[in-house]
Amino acid sequence: MSQAGPHPEVRQVPGREDLRQRIEARIRRMERVSGYGLWSMVLFLLVSLAAFDGFSIFPELSEEARKFLGDPPPGEMISLALVVYAFSSIVRTLARMSRNIKPYMGLMHAAFFTAFYAFYHLSGMLHDNFWAVFFAGISVMGLENYYLWSHSSAAVRKERALLESMRRDGDGGAG
C-alpha cells in the first residue's frame, strides 16, 4: 500500500509528457497540412503557365493518338462543364466552411482544371478559353486554400492553448 501513493504521481508525469509530445506532433502536422494547399496552387499555376503557351513544352499528339482519343467534346460542352464544376466547387467549399468540416486539399481541383485546359487544347479552343479556366481555378482553389489555412490555424491555436494550459497546471497553478 505504501508504494501505491507515489506511483500515481510517477505515472502522471510520463503521461503528461507523452500528452505534450502528442500535442506538439499534432501542431507540426497541422502546420504542414496548411502548406499542402499552396503546393496544389503552385502546381495549378505551373500547368496554367504551360497552357498559356499552348502546351508548347510538350510534343504534338500523333495522328494515331488523336484517333485513339476520339473527337474532343464541343467547346460549349466544355464551357458548361467548367461553369458547373466551378460553381459547385465553390458552393461545396462554402458549405464545408459553414459547418466547420475539415477542408480537403486542393490537389484534386488542380487535376480537374488541368483536364479543362487539356480538353480546350484538344478541341483547339484553348486560346479563347484560357482565362475562363484560369480565373475559375484561382477562385475555387483560392477559396479552398483560404479555408484550409484558416481551419488549420484555428486548430493550431486550440492545441497551443491546450499546451499553455498544461504548462500553467504543471506549475501548480502559479503564474
In tens, the pLDDT along 89-112 reads 999 999 999 998 877 767 899 999
In a domain, 2, yes or no: no
Cβ neighbours around 143 below 10 Å, total: 18
In a domain, 1, yes or no: no
In a domain, 69, yes or no: yes
Number of H helices, E strands in the chain: 5, 0
In a domain, 117, yes or no: yes
Q: Residue 25: what pLDDT?
A: 86
**pTM, to two decimals:** 0.78
Domain region containing 30: 8-170
In a domain, 136, yes or no: yes
Q: Which of 71-75, 107-111, 142-146, 159-163 has the lowest mean pLDDT?
A: 159-163
Judge whether 149 and 106 are in contact, CB under 8 Å. no
In a domain, 155, yes or no: yes
Give dist(CA 94, CA 144) in Å, integer. Answer: 9
Count how many domains the chain has: 1
Give dist(CA 144, CA 57) in Å, integer. Answer: 29
